[in-house]
Amino acid sequence: MTINSFGVVGAGQMGGGIAQVAACSGFDVVLYDLNDSALTRGVGAISASLSRMVKKEKLTQDEMDQALARIKQTSDMADMVSVDIVVEAASEDEEIKKSIFRQLDEVCQPGAILATNTSSISITRLAAATSRPGQVIGMHFMNPVPMMQLVEIIRALQTEEAVFDKVKQLSLDLNKVPVDVKDAPGFVSNRILMPMINEAVFCRYENLASAEEIDTVMKLGMSHPMGPLALADLIGLDTCLSIMEVLYDNFKDSKYRPCPLLVQMVDAGYLGRKNGRGFYHYD
Q: Which residues are catalytic?
A: 119, 140, 152, 190
Q: Is 15 annotated as a binding residue?
A: yes
Are 232 and 197 contacting, i.e. CB atoms less than 8 angstroms apart?
yes
Are 147 and 171 contacting, i.e. CB atoms less than 8 angstroms apart?
no
DSSP 104-118: HHHHSPTT-EEEE--
Q: Is 53 annotated as a binding residue?
A: no
195 vs 52: CA distance, rounded Å: 33
Q: Is 245 annotated as a binding residue?
A: no
Beta-carbon contacts of residue 10 (< 8 Å; ≥ 6 apart)? 32, 33, 88, 89, 90
Question: Three-state DSSP class for 32?
Answer: strand
Question: Three-state DSSP class for 207?
Answer: coil
Q: Is 12 annotated as a binding residue?
A: yes
Count other C-beta atoms under 10 Å from residue 115's C-beta.
30
105, 106, 167: which is closest to 140 by C-alpha?
A: 167
For residue 116, report the phi and psi dihedrals to the nearest 5 degrees: -130, 145
Are 123 and 156 contacting, i.e. CB atoms less than 8 angstroms apart?
yes
Q: Is 166 annotated as a binding residue?
A: no
Question: Three-state DSSP class for 27?
Answer: coil
16 vs 152: CA distance, rounded Å: 18
Q: Is 168 annotated as a binding residue?
A: no
Q: Is 143 annotated as a binding residue?
A: yes
Q: Is 119 annotated as a binding residue?
A: yes
Residue type, 168: K
Q: Is 207 annotated as a binding residue?
A: no
For residue 153, report the phi and psi dihedrals to the nearest 5 degrees: -105, 120
Q: Is 49 annotated as a binding residue?
A: yes
Binding-site annotation: residue ranges for CoA = 49, 56, 119
Binding-site annotation: residue ranges = 10-15, 33, 49, 56, 92, 97, 119, 143, 274
Binding-site annotation: residue ranges for NAD(+) = 10-15, 33, 92, 97, 119, 143, 274
